Copies of this chain bind each other. A is one copy, B any other.
């Protein structure tokens, strides 16, 4: 399987599972579930679940062991998008070419659907079933909670909103992205390893280094695409960061500096995978994809 086929394979699997897990029956307010499903099942590349599956496989685990963690990380990611799009936050009306949740439903429903999606993620992990032993499942809860909350993703979002229009230093920009998007990407890799039962601290450290590197690379590439990309391919107006005066890697490092940063992070990710040898080729291909994608 090449990377695109593999991404498609895991995306299909996690979407199928999400549809099964999120039951609409016997519920006094089905519209809430509809809004959750609308947010969850709206496409997207499902990079985070793919990372869970790939990392789990790399550590000798089965797809079944990764299923709930893959669904849970996507539920957290989806809830964060629903809340980020709200009028009081980024106030976006479109997401992946469709009306955002609060436009398609209403603001109160979007807030509640986001709340319920976050809860759903932890509920999934707490019912890991026979494939994962309880101590391991509890570790999944811990990894996901630490990456998502007040010392993770939500903190990054709060920092971002508090600094709209401010000029950030490079270390501030890096800290913001590390929290806002990086923690969840690293958590995807760690969830997969943990679901597989990996206890080797050297390998876990290597996977964490890989996750941290591709998380930041993803953001640097996003910033570069905003300048170099094509509006039609991007699905959002090219140059919108600059127009909104958002702090970006190119604005702080110049375009060449940002490109060099991207190469450096790519090399770091590949170097981190060395202990795994050829077995890590899927993760290596994913790193390659992140730095070369055109949207």
Contacts and interface: CB of A to CB of B under 8 A. Distances in A.
Question: Which of A125, A126, A142 gathers the greatest number of chain B CB atoms within 10 Å?
Answer: A126
Nearest to A146: B123
A155 to B, nearest CB: 6
A179 B86 CA distance: 25
Chain A binding surface, main DSSP class = helix
Interface stretch (A5-13, A29-37, A204-212): A29-37
A203 interface: no
Interface stretch (A46-54, A111-119, A270-278): A111-119
A55 interface: no
Contact of A141 (B120, B138, B146): B138
B157 A112 contact: yes
Contacts of A128: 138
Contact of A135 (B79, B123, B134, B175): B134
Contacts of A145: 119-120, 122-123, 126
Interface string A153-184: 01111110110000000001001100100000
A197 to B, nearest CB: 14
Contact of A142 (B79, B109, B126): B126
A149 interface: yes
A116 B155 contact: yes
Given A111-B83, A114-B115, A122-B122, A32 B158 contact: yes
Given A88-B107, A88-B108, A134-B135, A176 B28 contact: yes
A253 interface: no
Interface residues of A, number: 58
Contacts of A79: 115
Given A83-B111, A119-B149, A32 B138 contact: no
B115 A127 contact: no
Contact of A29 (B32, B135, B162): B162
Contacts of A106: 88
A68 to B, nearest CB: 12
A119 B107 CA distance: 21
13 contacts: A28-B159, A29-B155, A32-B150, A88-B107, A112-B154, A112-B161, A115-B149, A116-B154, A120-B145, A122-B144, A123-B142, A138-B138, A138-B141
